[in-house]
């Protein structure tokens, strides 16, 4: 199907497009393959297109859950995570022209540059990064075999059993998951829908929450994303982002929105935002857009590790701290590396401290952000508090008494531990930042996957090295202060009196 055929289908289902202002175009692979450009100067506040709610694809608008039945749907666990939506998408796609969304599936990508589809050699290029452990392939395979296959086998009237190895294959399941991961939005239900869900979870009206970029107000603030593109392939790890309890299930759902998901994104470049109204969703310009410029939505200024994992691309921009990369890059420091930097500790006592931390709502992975400048490096307060909790007996005892974490104090002992932990974190990569920068100079000779992996790991290493350098500076100052205090104590009044007596 051509793009013009898709637009015609969209308009025939009450989708509205200002065809004088916007056009979908094919783009070079480096720019996202497909996107939308302005045909003329677009003023701020202009609606470039709108989508009726009836055209949103979800487990609420697809007929499959209703025909399957709520009780068996929940019995197979299809209401949890994204497996239900992935099954709905496979079912709708298998219907072809009989599905309302047939033309929508015709223009969706079937191949992806995301690491989910990389071979082992290319995946090895990401060793040490936070990407590989978040792919969720094993969990997705488990969900397919333990939830989706039994559900399909139980309803031969809905699923042609001969099609399971083709239209409903594991590969197709992964493709649908990657489509969700790279193109989905999150909808939050209206009060009316939430009240209805107290009695019936099958059908309900919804309102837009933040995913790619959505707002319920007419005067939006700067776009923000809650990373709804979290774990599309992993129907349980999903819940790392969206939660899995019934209350959160009622509060939000992941959906596919035709036309809106064609827009690309780049760090702090967004110029449109999706707003909702009772019957439709409107994509509105948030600033003037020049004719010929691309129309950008936002994924929430994600780091390159998340852009690559979810979308198969990275941002490669000039950085205030030097070099090129993504200004939103982060690095993760696991709690176990901090524990390892303590030396000999009682395992039972350490488990008690960590359990207390987690029960109080603390995280076991600490996110370090790329600073705006080398002088602006900050140590996360929760990282300092956790380090003191597990290393200072007095702080641990006080935390138990007062049910509050230690104060985030960066004393010499804490800094020593963090400096060692950051060194351990950097050692997880098979290459150093200097070695990667040498590869960067000849990056044109690398494959696309190798280039993306290089840019991702360089971004993480820059964060880690900047933070470790800052810790070293603070540690030097703390050690200097301790030595000065020690010398002062040694030459204090008491020693002075002894000298006078002599």
d(CA 352, CA 203): 45
* Mean pLDDT over each residue of the chain, to the nearest integer: 86
pLDDT at 209: 34
pLDDT at 276: 86
User: Which one is predicted more confidently, 223 or 407?
Assistant: 407
User: Which one is predicted more confidently, 187 or 492?
Assistant: 187
User: Which one is predicted more confidently, 350 or 207?
Assistant: 350
pLDDT above 50: residue 244: no
Q: Show me where the domains of the chain are located.
A: 3-304, 324-489
pLDDT above 90: residue 47: yes
pLDDT at 243: 38
Lowest mean pLDDT among 238-252, 273-287, 377-391, 457-471: 238-252
Average pLDDT of the segment spanning 423-450: 97
d(CA 216, CA 59): 22
For CA atoms 429, 378, 306, 316, the dihedral sign is negative
Lowest mean pLDDT among 155-159, 236-240, 403-407: 236-240
Helix axes 83-95, 170-183, angle to 10 degrees: 110
The listed range with the strongest mean pLDDT (290-294, 299-303, 310-314, 478-482) is: 290-294
Helix axes 347-359, 393-402, angle to 10 degrees: 40
- Dihedrals φ, ψ of 139, to 5°? -70, -35
d(CA 368, CA 145): 37
Degrees to nearest 5, angle at CA 151 with 148 and 152:
85
| Strands 365-369, 330-334: pairing kind | antiparallel
Q: Answer for the pair 260, 281: CB distance below 8 angstroms, yes or no.
A: yes
- What CATH number does the domain located at 324-489 have? 3.90.1420.10
User: Which one is predicted more confidently, 190 or 207?
Assistant: 190
pLDDT at 277: 86
218 band by pLDDT with thresholds 50, 70 and 90: very low
Q: Who's near 18: CB < 8 A, 6+ residues apart?
A: 46, 47, 48, 49
d(CA 302, CA 369): 11
In this structure, the number of other CB atoms found within 10 A of the CB of residue 127 comes to: 14
Query: Which 3-state string (H, E, C) describes 388-423?
Result: HHHHCHHHHHHHHHHCCCCCCCCCHHHHHHHHHHHH
The structure tokens listed for 286 are 């948030």
Residue pLDDT, tens place only, 319-345: 999 999 999 999 999 999 999 999 877
Q: Who's near 492: CB < 8 A, 6+ residues apart?
A: none
- What CATH number does the domain located at 3-304 have? 3.90.1410.10
User: Which one is predicted more confidently, 215 or 269?
Assistant: 269
pLDDT at 300: 82
Q: What is the C-alpha R_g of the chain?
A: 27
Which of 200-205's residues contact partners 24+ apart within 8 Å by CB, and which partners?
Answer: 200/70, 201/70, 201/79, 201/250, 202/60, 202/65, 202/66, 202/70, 203/60, 203/66, 204/60, 205/53
d(CA 283, CA 303): 24
pLDDT above 50: residue 223: no
């Amino acid at each position: 199907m051509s793009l013009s055929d898709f637009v015609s289908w969209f308009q025939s289902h009450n989708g509205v497009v200002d065809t004088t202002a916007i056009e979908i175009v094919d783009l070079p692979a480096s720019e996202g393959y497909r996107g939308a450009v302005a045909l003329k100067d677009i003023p701020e506040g202009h609606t470039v297109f709108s989508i009726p709610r009836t055209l949103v694809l979800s487990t609420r608008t697809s007929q499959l859950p209703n025909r399957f039945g709520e009780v068996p749907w929940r019995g197979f666990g299809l209401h949890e995570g994204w497996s239900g939506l992935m099954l709905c998408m496979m079912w709708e796609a298998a219907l072809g022209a009989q599905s309302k969304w047939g033309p929508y599936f015709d223009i969706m990508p079937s191949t992806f540059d995301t690491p989910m589809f990389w071979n082992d050699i290319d995946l090895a290029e990401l060793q040490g990064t936070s990407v590989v452990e978040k792919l969720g392939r094993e969990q997705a395979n488990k969900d397919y075999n333990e939830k989706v296959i039994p559900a399909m086998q139980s309803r031969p009237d809905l699923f042609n059993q001969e099609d399971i190895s083709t239209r409903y294959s594991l590969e197709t399941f992964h493709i649908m998951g990657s489509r969700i991961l790279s193109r989905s939005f999150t909808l939050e239900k209206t009060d009316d829908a939430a009240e209805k869900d107290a009695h019936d979870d099958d059908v309900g009206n919804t309102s837009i929450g933040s995913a790619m970029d959505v707002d319920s107000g007419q005067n939006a603030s700067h776009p923000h994303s809650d990373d709804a593109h979290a774990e599309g392939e992993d129907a349980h790890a999903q819940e790392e982002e969206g939660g899995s309890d019934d209350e959160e299930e009622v509060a939000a759902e992941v959906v596919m929105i035709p036309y809106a998901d064609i827009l690309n994104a780049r760090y702090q470049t967004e110029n449109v935002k999706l707003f909702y109204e009772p019957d439709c969703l409107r994509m509105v310009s948030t600033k003037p857009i020049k004719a010929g410029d691309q129309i950008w939505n936002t994924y929430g200024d994600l780091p390159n590790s998340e852009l690559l994992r979810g979308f198969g691309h990275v941002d490669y921009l000039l950085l205030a701290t030097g070099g090129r990369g993504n200004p939103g890059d982060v690095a993760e420091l696991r709690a176990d590396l901090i524990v390892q930097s303590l030396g000999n500790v009682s395992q039972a006592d350490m488990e008690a401290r960590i359990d207390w931390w987690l029960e109080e709502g603390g995280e076991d992975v600490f996110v370090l952000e790329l600073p705006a400048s080398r002088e602006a490096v900050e140590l996360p307060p929760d990282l300092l508090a956790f380090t003191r909790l597990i290393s200072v007996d007095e702080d641990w005892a006080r935390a138990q008494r007062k049910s509050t974490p230690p104060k985030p104090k960066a004393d010499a002992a804490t800094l020593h531990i963090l400096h060692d932990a950051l060194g351990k974190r950097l050692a997880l990569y098979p290459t150093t930042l200097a070695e990667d920068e040498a590869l960067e100079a000849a990056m044109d000779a690398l494959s696309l996957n190798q280039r993306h992996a290089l840019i991702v790991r360089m971004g993480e290493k820059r964060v880690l090295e900047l933070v470790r350098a800052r810790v070293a500076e603070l540690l030097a100052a703390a050690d200097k202060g301790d030595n000065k205090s020690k010398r002062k104590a040694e030459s204090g009044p008491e020693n002075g009196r002894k000298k006078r007596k002599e």
